[in-house]
Amino acid sequence: MKIGFVGLGNMGAPMAANLSKAGHEVTGFDTADVTVEGVTQAETIGAAVRAADAVITMLPNGAILRSVADQIIPDMQNGAVLIDCSTVDVESARAVADLAQNAGLLSVDAPVSGGIGGAAAGTLTFMAGGEDAAFAKAAPLFDIMGQKAVHCGDAGSGQAAKICNNMILGVTMIATCEAFALADKLGLDRQKMFDVVSTSSGYSWTMNAYCPAPGVGPQSPADNDYKPGFAAELMLKDLRLSQQAAESADADTPMGQIATALYEQFVESENGTGMDFSAMLPRFEKRGRG
């Protein structure tokens, strides 16, 4: 398959490389000067997508996605599929899907879970929204870049699933960090706390698989000075998207609101930028009740 790949950053580059390793002809474009093994670099965005059977985008936000879509959709060949793997607002995903459909293209919004490590290893999870025919055309590429792809429904459903998942993730990480900080102040050993909670009703992914306490549980960013596996500012981005979606859908999400406010404070006022989102634990360690 001929594939155009727009957005060769920390996530896009390894995804494009995996497609090339699998034998696909990949032409990439990025505004930065990057080199990706096996990927031909196009001088213009149009050149990257013009002959492609599938175009994959991995972009920072909805505004950039809309701008890129306006540029590439007129250049894409009839019947090609546009696969957007960015995490953006639902409205932008649906607007781009409408543009694609009107141009005779297939489209899938397919944000990912798994981070940079998952992108490199080809073990991402894709949450996909779009018509059955579009998902069917994209599915073989999902199989190369990831280990699982779930067709969540119509256009925008992939973004909805990602936003809801990451709202749970942000809220749960805060609760996990709060609990460890409380355990410290109560004189409870962190390992004992983990041994109890990880096999009890407090079980969660943030406790069992991504423990924010160094030296406890499986290896995690906490064991590497909280260098990001998933940066706090990206968690904040996703939480803001969840609250934007909640507002537009008239959904009551008080815990999502609180989590958004706490990550906002951590990232923007407490030097949390560039740290893993689990670095909320040392933040809570330093704070008292007041």
What is the full DSSP assignment across 61-118? SHHHHHHHHHHHGGGSPTT-EEEE-S---HHHHHHHHHHHHHTT-EEEE--EESHHHH
- Structural contact between residues 131 and 167, judged by C-beta atoms closer than 8 angstroms: no
Separation CA 286–CA 280 (nearest Å):
10
Burial of 70 (0-12, 13-18, 19+ CB in 10 A): exposed
Output the CA angle 250-234-263, nearest 5 degrees.
70
Q: Is 21 a catalytic residue?
A: no
Separation CA 148–CA 40 (nearest Å):
27
Within 10 A of 136 (CB to CB), how many other CB atoms are there? 14
Q: Among the residues of 11-79, which ranges form H helices? A: 12-21, 45-49, 62-72
Of 21, 162, 185, 237, catalytic: 162
Q: Which residues contact 148 (CB under 8 A, 6 or more apart)?
A: 125, 126
- Residue with the two structure tokens 């639902």: 90
Separation CA 18–CA 88 (nearest Å):
23
Question: What distance, in Å, lies between the first and last C-alpha atoms of the chain?
Answer: 59
User: Where in the sequence numbering do the catalytic residues fall?
Assistant: 162
